[in-house]
């Protein structure tokens, strides 16, 4: 009888694991992370031995060609998803992601290491970990003088030159929509898209596909971060790529991570979010993700001296409340302008 009682007590104690921090010491656990990385930044998630060793776990990454695709996968999988965390959602998709109700709130103590202006999602369903500025990248072998403003971009000279990631179903395309809608207003931006529509050669359904088409020469202009030519120069030895920021302004593009509501490894997922803001991880951002780090203690490498500079007063920044109020109208008018109704 005593042996049975002891066994029962031990079973009850073990069944309680996972409801407090002692769960972190449980061995052989996988933390599944959905990411949406273009081919040039997959190295960001390589060899995170420090985190795995500290928490006695294994990080398992499933990469999607676009952040919108990762969100759609979570929506379809619902509570049956294997994902615990999602990374790579940009601020043009955060509001939509929050409204889907698939993520839990979590405000990391390490938020103190970053400037509050980067906390786009004030509900803290999503935590920022990198940022960059939006421009147009071009191949200088074919374009000597790129368009300097949106008026020039509408010129027939650029007929079928622009590769535009689908503005409805890609993170980068949605960011470009947010930029233009903010610059020209919910009515004016339609005239811009009507003007550039003839110059768009294709609307790829992922940024990976769009970027590969650009590299293959299917078009010579593509929305991209201002850091991308630096990636090509120092990682691939390609010097033909340049970037131009339109005179009307740039858009600050942030990337975020969120914890999936259905996870059974909540505490471990929270520690991972914490880790993304540490100096150890943030030092990877520049030369593995080719974006700017958020942790104020991380210094930029000398390679970033070559990045096209964007004046702070020439950057468009949106709030989540603005997106929530206006985005459905932007999308509706865009569909009409592109003849998708």
Identify the pLDDT of residue 252. 95
Residue 209 three-state SS = helix
Asked if domains 2-131+253-300 and 133-252+308-337 share a fold, the reply is: yes
Rounded to two decimals, the pTM is: 0.89
Identify the pLDDT of residue 25. 55
CATH topology of domain 2-131+253-300: D-Maltodextrin-Binding Protein; domain 2 (3.40.190)
Domain boundaries defined on the chain? 2-131+253-300, 133-252+308-337
Identify the pLDDT of residue 12. 42
Question: Kind of pairing, strands 85-90 and 221-225?
Answer: unpaired
Q: What is the pLDDT along the chain (341 residues), one digit of tens a residue?
A: 444 544 444 444 444 444 445 455 554 589 999 999 887 778 999 999 999 999 999 999 999 999 999 999 999 999 999 999 999 999 999 999 999 999 999 999 999 999 999 999 999 999 999 999 999 999 999 999 999 999 999 999 999 999 999 999 999 999 999 999 999 998 899 999 999 999 999 999 999 999 999 999 999 999 999 999 999 999 999 999 999 999 999 999 999 999 999 999 999 999 999 999 999 999 999 999 999 999 999 999 999 999 999 999 999 888 889 999 999 999 999 999 999 97
Cite the DSSP H helix spans in the chain.
Answer: 2-15, 49-55, 67-77, 94-99, 150-153, 171-196, 207-216, 228-231, 266-276, 279-284, 320-337
Identify the pLDDT of residue 243. 98
- For domain 133-252+308-337, the question of CATH label 3.10.20.30 is answered with no
Report the alpha-carbon distance of residue 288 to residue 290 in Å, rounded.
6
Determine the distance from the C-alpha atom of residue 157 to the mean position of all C-alpha atoms in its chain, rounded to a whole number: 32
Identify the pLDDT of residue 10. 44
Report the alpha-carbon distance of residue 226 to residue 212 in Å, rounded.
17
Identify the pLDDT of residue 316. 87
Identify the pLDDT of residue 171. 96
Any idea what DSSP says for residue 173? H
Question: Kind of pairing, strands 221-225 and 126-139?
Answer: antiparallel
Residues 6+ apart with CB under 8 A from 14: none
């Amino acid at each position: 009888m005593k042996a049975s009682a002891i066994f029962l007590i031990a079973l009850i104690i073990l069944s309680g694991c996972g409801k407090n921090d002692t769960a972190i010491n449980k061995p052989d656990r996988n933390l599944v992370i959905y990411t949406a990385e273009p081919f040039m930044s997959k190295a960001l998630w390589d060899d995170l031995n420090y985190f795995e060793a500290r928490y006695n776990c294994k990080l398992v990454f499933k990469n999607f060609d676009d952040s919108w695709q990762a969100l759609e996968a979570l929506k379809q999988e619902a509570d049956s998803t294997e994902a615990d965390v999602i990374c790579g959602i940009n601020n043009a998709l955060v509001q939509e992601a929050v409204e889907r109700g698939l993520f839990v709130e979590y405000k990391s103590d390490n938020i103190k290491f970053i400037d509050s202006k980067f906390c786009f999602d004030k509900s803290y369903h999503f935590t920022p970990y990198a940022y960059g500025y939006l421009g147009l990248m071009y191949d200088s072998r074919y374009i000597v003088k790129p368009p300097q403003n949106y008026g020039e971009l509408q010129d027939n000279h650029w007929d079928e030159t622009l590769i535009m990631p689908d503005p409805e179903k890609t993170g980068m395309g949605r960011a470009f929509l947010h930029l233009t809608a903010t610059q020209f207003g919910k009515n004016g931006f339609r005239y811009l898209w009507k003007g550039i529509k003839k110059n768009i050669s294709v609307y790829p359904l992922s940024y990976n596909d769009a970027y590969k088409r650009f590299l293959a020469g299917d078009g010579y202009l593509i929305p991209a971060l201002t850091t991308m030519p630096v990636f090509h120069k120092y990682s691939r030895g390609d010097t033909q790529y340049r970037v131009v920021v339109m005179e009307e302004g740039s858009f600050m593009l942030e990337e975020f991570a969120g914890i999936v509501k259905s996870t059974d490894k909540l505490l471990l997922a929270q520690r991972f979010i914490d880790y993304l803001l540490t100096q150890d991880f943030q030092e990877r951002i520049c030369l593995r993700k080719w974006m700017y780090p958020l942790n104020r203690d991380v210094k930029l490498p000398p390679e970033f001296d070559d990045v096209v500079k964007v004046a702070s007063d020439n950057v468009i920044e949106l709030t989540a409340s603005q997106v929530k109020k206006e985005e459905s109208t932007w999308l509706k008018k865009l569909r009409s302008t592109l003849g998708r109704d």
